[in-house]
Structure 1
Amino acid sequence: MNSKSQLLSDSVKEGETLLRVEGVSKRFPGVLALDNVSFNLKAGEVHVLFGENGAGKSTMISMIAGVHTPTSGEIRFRGEPVDLKSVRYARSLGISAVFQEFSLVGQLNVEQNLFLGDERVKNKILRKKELHIEAEKILKDLGFDLKPSQIVSYLSRAEQQMVEIAKAFRSEVSVLILDEPTASLTERETDQLFRLVEMLKAQGVGVIYITHRMAEIRRIADRITVLRDGKYVDTVDAKSTTESNLINLMTGRVVGEIFPKIDFKPKDKILSIENLSTKNHRIKDVSVHVSPGEIVGLAGLVGAGKSALIRACFGIQSVSSGKVIFDGEDVTNMTTRQMLDKGFFYSPPDRKGEGLVMIRSCQENISLPSLHLPKFNKWNLLRRSHELKETLSLATKLQLHPLKINREVEHFSGGNQQKVLLAKCLTRDVKLFVFDEPTVGVDVGTRVEIYKFIAKLCEEGAAVIIISSDLPEVINMSHRLYVMHRGKLQTELRGDEITQENVLMNFFDKEVA
């Protein structure tokens, strides 16, 4: 009865239990990640796993997806106990996961990544035409604007997220696991994904969904299971549970307003971008400015140029025309090191790919941008005691948990990795802070801490830019907001003009909007 063919053929009616996790624990060396947790997924529902970073959500879905096996407890699929011994086996049963951390091969194209490990072969010959046709169909059905022949390393992070999502649909799905799938998607791509989720629900697919965004929970969730410190807390109805109750369950404490009230006091301009265009044509004749004492938001769809604009100012991308004036000086096409030394700090959206050295310690990562400065360097020798004192102070200030700065960054949760990334900008004198997707993959409690941190920088007189695909984030945190579309500036919004409606209507061509 527990053969793979029988498991696939058994039909489960909507509302019946599709997957059950019973008393599962998972122990890693020195860490009890999950402690006697039970959870069930019904056919045709979206069940949200909710909790702070490090609560055990990722461990739970990794076991259901076949990445890890439980230390104790049992997993039942369609009423039968199963040993999910590998990702491949889990997929053969119809259990497919889209993890927050991508598993793509950058040198391969989209269609090769979609079918990696599951290639169509006949007589030991790869059926390339069949793969291409199937890849085109998957992308079209999902509504993703991607070509099968595109090389993945040249795609934006959001486009790579789309490839990860598409991989889950190369075969029939019974259980779909989505781990922060909208972290790099804008409203339009998110809408496409949610329409897909609704379609899957109607077909009886069970969806396990991890998110920290309350609006998403309200929109698509049926039930919510809350985990805290590796333990089960409660399962609640998504429609009737209040936001404050949900946060209290998650944190075990009362969390106030998510977005802080910020006292904006703009001064003279510190950054002026004048008619700027880039050599790769991603930015076309854009002019914006930023002043100390304000937070300026940059919003737009994937590929709109909101990140590319600032990366060009910071020296990551080349400017073909126009000027970048920083603190009264023409800094156009200066190197990133020169921009850092002038007080311009850019915190990238991909903390693992660009922001952090994952196999090194928190201490080393925090001090990395400033090793040549006198506070850490004397006669070209690293002042270890000074480094330890300074980095420990910053880690404490940002409430790193656990407070073990000699531990490798890869062993921390996503929210705590983000805190290490933020701590890097405090090791030197900075006049302009740029935070590109500052709360990707972090829980509500950590979001509140990050927003307070950014607000304090602004109120202490720094200039701040927030680049974000999360509309509530840029709308509620910005003093002024620029909206970009296809590499051009669409509009500038101020004060009461900064509303979701005004932002969304500028996401598209003026004549279309």
Structure 2
Amino acid sequence: MTTRSPILSLRGIQKSYGPIRVLHGVDLDIYPGEVVALLGENGAGKSTLSNIVSGTVQPSAGEMTWLGAAYAPANPRAAMDEGVGMIHQELKLLPKLSIAENVFVGRYPMKAGRVDRRAMEERARSSLKRLGLEISPDRLVEGLSTGKQQLIEIAKALTLNARLLILDEPTAALGGEETQLLFQQIERLKADGVGIIYISHRLEEIRQIADRVVVMRDGAKVQEFDSGDVPIRTIVEAMVGRSLERMFPALPTPREEVTLEVRDLTSPTNAFRNISFSVCKGEVFGIAGLMGAGRTELVRAITGADPISGGEILLNGKAVTPRSPIEAIRAGMVLVPEDRKLQGVVLDHSIAENIGYANLGAIARNGWVSSRRLKQFADECIRKFGVKGRGHQDAGELSGGNQQKVVLAKWLARKPQVVVLDEPTRGIDVGARSSIYDLIMDLARQGVAVIVVSSDLEEVLGVSNRIMVMAQGRQTGILDREEANDVSVMELATS
């Protein structure tokens, strides 16, 4: 550990929202030229603490010092002026502006009273090149992939000449090559004396990038490791506050009755073709495959979100082939989509409203929704599914894991016969994953037919009774639990 003075010190930082305290007296020091991994489950307080440091949120109590002087930024601009930059997990780019304009928004270089576009584009081009992104800075952000947008956010931070950077899930949308370019840039920043707070759910990255590890749980700092070389299991146990004897719960035994049968299903775009399988009551049926295999397109078609050109879908032996999501929902089939923020919840509406939208039949009388009845219904769902939030809160205020629970709650309240989960734990921490797995097993025990699509091979192996593997839109095999392993699945996924 360096003996130099910290650039940032936090002492006794607290934050409360009304009666709810989300931070409990956090102490933290950040030194120049080091990467501190800030880890914890969704809702542990990481983002709140980071937002306090970056001036987005004001603390309820405690003190901060920056370069030895009192530090209390009133807003993000004040923090940036001090040399503190934050790259948020949620992208904040303006799609109708160019890349260069996004990089310098709010602080455009000026010349003779006008924006110096040449200087702006050259500086933006230089920052993009440092990250390996060969793209014209005068191009609009609109239409760029999520990964490229993430790199633009990082390039924006690089132009701040910051002394401290907070990176909140910076690699969530990046591929392996892009991630390594980012890590190379982080090493250069460290060599320049920049301190970095690094927040990530990808625990395998921590050993590669972190100098120290700080673990938070329930709004408090619970453990600190003086090295990034810490076994993942040790970190996870500190995050969840218990020993992890087993990540995945025991699978119940499926019943013999077939709930869902898919026969020769084919997409008009050829995303998948001639897919056939069945799912029994109480069975968890996994779907595995590499990117582009057609998994998401298949389950969207099964639940009426995408069209089909051939084949049929049967529910309890009766043909139901839905032509729209509402037909699938009425038949008893629901989809928890891959992108919960765009397709799963309405972020600026309350938890109660999100739950109510899928259950108007249960809470409306004569076409009118009673606020009292909505509150009662939503409060029961929040309690039953363990959502950490209150009905009046906007869904956008919740962590990723709790947003996913809201999506699950609104559909499971309808008591469906078939539940399709597309990437159910993407962007969700280990502790929240465990509760999602418990919900899946509870559904199976109740006799619901569950389909799980996952890019996480360990996950699909851990939760499934059987696994169908897809490759390039084709069904390459269905494996029983006893014969499914990482080798057998990957052989089929690459055949």
Q: TM-score, normalised by structure 2?
A: 0.81
CA contact (8 A) 1:95 1:176 kept: yes
Q: Tell me which of 150, 166, 181 is aligned to 1:177.
A: 166
SS of the aligned residue for 1:445 comes to helix
Q: Distance in 1 between matches of 2:131 and 2:263?
A: 40
Residue 423 of structure 1 deviates from its aligned partner by: 0.5
Q: Tell me which of 345, 367, 376 is aligned to 1:380.
A: 367
CA contact (8 A) 2:267 2:307 kept: no
1:420 equivalenced with 2:440 (yes/no): no
CA contact (8 A) 1:146 1:159 kept: no
SS of the aligned residue for 2:85 comes to strand
1:291 equivalenced with 2:278 (yes/no): yes
CA contact (8 A) 2:83 2:163 kept: yes
Residue 185 of structure 1 deviates from its aligned partner by: 4.2
1:397 equivalenced with 2:388 (yes/no): no
SS of the aligned residue for 1:270 comes to strand
SS of the aligned residue for 1:473 comes to helix
1:214 equivalenced with 2:206 (yes/no): no
| 1:276 corresponding residue in structure 2 | 267
| 1:335 corresponding residue in structure 2 | 324
CA contact (8 A) 1:274 1:322 kept: yes
Q: Distance in 1 between matches of 2:452 and 2:172?
A: 15
Residue 394 of structure 1 deviates from its aligned partner by: 2.9
CA contact (8 A) 1:224 1:236 kept: yes
CA contact (8 A) 1:367 1:424 kept: yes
Cα 1:24–1:184 change in 2 (3 A) is same
CA contact (8 A) 1:269 1:289 kept: no
Note the alpha carbon deviations across 1:36-65, whole angstroms, 9 max, x for none.
Answer: 321012333321222333332112111222
Q: Tell me which of 456, 466, 471 is aligned to 2:442.
A: 456
1:75 equivalenced with 2:64 (yes/no): yes
SS of the aligned residue for 1:291 comes to strand
Q: TM-score, normalised by structure 1?
A: 0.78
CA contact (8 A) 2:33 2:192 kept: yes
Cα 1:276–1:248 change in 2 (3 A) is same
Q: Distance in 1 between matches of 2:471 and 2:136?
A: 24
| 2:467 corresponding residue in structure 1 | 480
1:236 equivalenced with 2:225 (yes/no): yes
Note the alpha carbon deviations across 1:207-265, whole angstroms, 9 max, x for none.
Answer: 21222343233443332222233333231235565545434433444444222343574
Residue 378 of structure 1 deviates from its aligned partner by: 4.3
CA contact (8 A) 2:457 2:486 kept: no
SS of the aligned residue for 1:424 comes to helix
SS of the aligned residue for 1:43 comes to coil
CA contact (8 A) 2:263 2:274 kept: yes
Q: Tell me which of 418, 430, 443 is aligned to 1:444.
A: 430
Aligned residues: 485
Deviates more, 1:427-436 or 1:416-425: 427-436
Cα 1:305–1:197 change in 2 (3 A) is farther
| 2:355 corresponding residue in structure 1 | 366
Task: Please list every run of 5 or more consecutive structure 1 residues that lacks an aligned counterpart in the other structure.
Answer: 1-12
CA contact (8 A) 2:335 2:420 kept: yes
Deviates more, 1:32-41 or 1:247-256: 247-256
Task: Please list every run of 5 or more consecutive structure 2 residues that lacks an aligned counterpart in the other structure.
Answer: none
Amino acid at match of 1:450: I
Note the alpha carbon deviations across 1:298-342, whole angstroms, 9 max, x for none.
Answer: 4545x77654554455454566x555645464747x222222222
Q: Distance in 1 between matches of 2:36 and 2:374?
A: 45
Note the alpha carbon deviations across 1:276-301, whole angstroms, 9 max, x for none.
Answer: 244xxxx6455545532233234545
> Residues 105-124 of structure 1 correspond to what in structure 2 (within 5 A)?
105-124=94-113
Q: Distance in 1 between matches of 2:272 and 2:136?
A: 28
CA contact (8 A) 2:288 2:457 kept: no
> Residues 98-137 of structure 1 correspond to what in structure 2 (within 5 A)?
98-137=87-126
Q: Distance in 2 between matches of 1:15 and 1:489?
A: 59
CA contact (8 A) 1:66 1:85 kept: yes
Q: Distance in 1 between matches of 2:70 and 2:381?
A: 48
| 2:421 corresponding residue in structure 1 | 435
Q: Distance in 1 between matches of 2:139 and 2:300?
A: 23
Q: Distance in 2 between matches of 1:65 and 1:439?
A: 28
CA contact (8 A) 2:64 2:70 kept: yes
Cα 1:129–1:259 change in 2 (3 A) is farther
Q: Distance in 1 between matches of 2:24 and 2:176?
A: 36
Taking only aligned residues, the RMSD between alpha carbons, in angstroms, comes to: 4.0
Residue 369 of structure 1 deviates from its aligned partner by: 1.2
Residue 463 of structure 1 deviates from its aligned partner by: 3.9
SS of the aligned residue for 2:267 comes to strand
Q: Distance in 2 between matches of 1:434 and 1:366?
A: 18
SS of the aligned residue for 1:61 comes to helix
Residue 132 of structure 1 deviates from its aligned partner by: 4.4
| 1:4 corresponding residue in structure 2 | none
Determine what percentage of the aligned residue pairs are the same residue: 33
Residue 14 of structure 1 deviates from its aligned partner by: 9.8
CA contact (8 A) 2:288 2:489 kept: no
